[in-house]
Amino acid sequence: MKDHWDRARWHPAYRAYYWMLTFPDIPDLLKLARRCQDALAPLGMDDVPEDGLHITMTKIGDTDRVTPNQLADLAATTLQARFTLTAHPLTASRGAARFTVTPWHHLTDLHHTLTTANTRAGVPGGRPTPSFRPHLGVTYNNRARPAKDLLPYLLPLRDLSPVRIAVRSVELVELRREGAAYRWTVLHSLPLNDRLL
């Protein structure tokens, strides 16, 4: 595994706009994340704060490359229906321990909508939808280590019950890094339509 924070771009002054799903008020998700973080504590990783759980949908652009008019255009984006996700514990990526979220088709549809809105607004944007891999980080790896070191801690957590998450809005945020955590300011919260899938 690599050090998640070994990213020159994310220096203290760096700011960028992103589309994100945030989960500050889902007690079952917070409880599951905390249980997993506690189990992984001996590894000394950097836990995602309770108010920092999120799914990054796509980048909009660095703050110096996006105008207020473009942000206003993005804030007028029309979104599809609400949906429900399931967060499945727990797996690892190259830089984090994370929940897998399913079903993907709601998220890829939403990613496509947001990518289209980015293109229409003329902002730099992020990765194309075919390369989008949705996940929900729980704790970030903060040094190089063999992935096998996580296995004794991860495997018992895989049997925990998944959590359902109702997704009702998408946030347009200004994202920054503070120490070993991502923090953001919500600029616009765009509600999804009332019909729940």
CATH number of 16-191: 3.90.1140.10
> What is the four-CA torsion angle of 140, 145, 149, 155, rounded to 10 degrees?
30
Contacts of 27 (CB under 8 A, 6+ apart): none
Model pLDDT, residue 24 = 84
What value does the mean pLDDT take over residues 45-73?
Answer: 97
pTM (2 d.p.): 0.94
Spell out the SS3 assignment of the chain: CCCCCCCCCCCCCCCEEEEEEECCCCHHHHHHHHHHHHHHHHHCCEECCHHHCEEEEEEEEEHHHCCHHHHHHHHCCCCCEEEEEEEEEEEECCCEEEEEEECHHHHHHHHHHHHHHHHHHCCCCCCCHHHCCCEEEEEECCCCCCHHHHHHHHHHHCCCCCEEEEECEEEEEEEEEECCEEEEEEEEEEECEEEEC
The total of other beta-carbon atoms located within 10 Å of residue 192's CB is 19
> Hey, where are the domains in the chain?
16-191
For residue 165, CA distances in Å to 30, 144, 178 come to 11, 32, 27
Using one digit for the tens of pLDDT, what is the confidence trace for 39-54? 999 999 999 999 999 9
Q: Is a pLDDT exceeding 60 seen at residue 93?
A: yes
Q: Is a pLDDT exceeding 90 seen at residue 161?
A: yes
Q: Is a pLDDT exceeding 80 seen at residue 1?
A: yes
